[in-house]
Structure 1
Amino acid sequence: MRIIAGEYRGRRLASVGKGDPGAHLRPTTDRVRESLFNTLAGGRFGDPISGARVLDLFAGTGALGLEALSRGAEHVTLVDDGRAAGKLIRENIQTLGCKAACKVIARDATRLPQADTACGLIFLDPPYGKDLGGQALAVAQAGGWIAPEALIVWEEEAAQEAPAGFNLLDHKRYGDTWISFLQVQ
């Protein structure tokens, strides 16, 4: 795994190999991440990255949030309660030297604390098939994490429908991975 573009382009991230099923680590592949960020940069959703505050729920290695930071986001909050994930996130932040622009919350994404500042770009990559994405999204919204008109990028094994309070903008399929794009109503 590596950062695809931006300030940290080409930098290698800590690898979990094919993932760690016991810890529910299933990193987004470089290819899917590159396609996703090309979609985000394509203008269809405006410019959701430049200067954004980013929330990366179920962050795993932190690759999605750190890619956004590399491409011009102002700050990223990475949330994951896994020990292995926490270690990988901290290692990746150190590798990139971006600690000042990052906050790590070692907590279950469905039990977030109250936000200091709302975020305009939300990455949501829950363990597949566990029905945790909708719960985390509801908690994030109730906790003030989601700014008005924020873009939510939800990665799952199947296309997701928009929960109450959100509009579905699009679905994209990348092999076994589905990305659903949502926005606050």
Structure 2
Amino acid sequence: MPPPSLAITTEKFRKDVARLQAVRKGASTLSGIHQHMIAELLMLQLHFTFEHCISEIATKIAAGATYVNGTAPVTLVRSRSMLEATENFHSHARRQRRRYLKWTTASFIKETCKHVLDESDRFLIQIDKNSQLISDVNDVRNHIAHKASSTRQRFKDVVRRTYGYNRNVTPSQFLISPAGVTTPNLDTYIQASKIAISDISSGK
């Protein structure tokens, strides 16, 4: 059986994001309240698509896929399939099997890949380089999904980091209002996620 291909994963991500951009563009003619609702739904879908793509890239390189530039990953254990790679993420060299694999922050991703991918591997290096984006996308998504006091503070941190000062905005206002930024933040996240996936899968 040939090794899995990252090109398939990255191309699917590109198409999925293109669909999100098409919806975003189509919603521009709707009323403000509908644009805000759609912006939050698009952010939820972007987070899901981004996280899934990162997890699939990690699983494929653990299972023998080469990076887009043709280089081989630096692995600590051989996995003969994506299923075996997933099981290795759960249990290889761990005193206790991990019940869940977490892909929502750079620290969680590195802990998931521990004992399977070497810390010098380019995937983990690129995860570190894109750690702020991964965290911000997750924090905005969590506040849209849960709107709890615990998610509110982390969302406020994203807002302050983005604008350079505190602003009292809802997630939808933050995503589509251009006030204080050149490009609406939703569009920035969409574009940045495309660049991040390209970097993470590149082998550079």
Q: TM-score, normalised by structure 2?
A: 0.27
Computing the radius of gyration over CA atoms, which structure comes out larger, 1 or 2? 2
Q: Which structure has more helix as a fraction of its residues?
A: 2
Higher normalized contact order (CA 8 Å, seq sep 6+, divided by chain length) = 2
